[in-house]
Structure 1
């Protein structure tokens, strides 16, 4: 579960980086537009993954050291 959440958070970070640097919403472009249902589900999944990782961050740090 943590690996999937980490991948989703990385995808979200790359998407925000693309928006900040190039003005391009990568997820929106891939899934047909920012407000399409599939894009919105991906944004939601990235957000949930971020929340999940924020609550498990201490466990991740302690397990990897």
Structure 2
């Protein structure tokens, strides 16, 4: 599951940078669309879908971090007290 979390996090970073570029320069700066031949191309739509699915997947560790506290969630602890 750690590998999947890293992959989805990387996709979210790609998506975030892409949207930042779109915000600064309009749709001409949409790198995903430019790489794959337009925002309606199959390749771009796959990337957009993967970024969206990655966001949904990342809700799981985010909600765990909210419940347990970030330090415990990152360490993978399932109980509330950890010997330090």
What's the TM-score once normalised by structure 2's chain length?
A: 0.70
Aligned equivalents of 1:17, 1:54: Cα separation in 2? 21
Deviation at 1:57, TM superposition (A): 1.1
Task: Give runs of ≥4 in structure 1 deviating > 4 Å.
Answer: none
Aligned equivalents of 2:21, 2:31: Cα separation in 1? 7
Aligned length: 64
Residue number among 11, 16, 30 corresponding to 1:8 in the alignment: 11
What's the TM-score once normalised by structure 1's chain length?
A: 0.88
Query: What is the root-mean-square deviation of aligned Cα atoms in Å?
Result: 1.4
Aligned equivalents of 1:54, 1:26: Cα separation in 2? 25
| Residue aligning to 2:74 | 63
| Residue aligning to 2:31 | 26
Structure exhibiting the larger radius of gyration computed from Cα positions: 2
- Where structure 2 has 5 or more consecutive residues not aligned to the other structure, the ranges are 76-84
Residue number among 24, 38, 54 corresponding to 2:59 in the alignment: 54
- Higher RCO (C-alpha under 8 Å, 6+ residues apart): 1
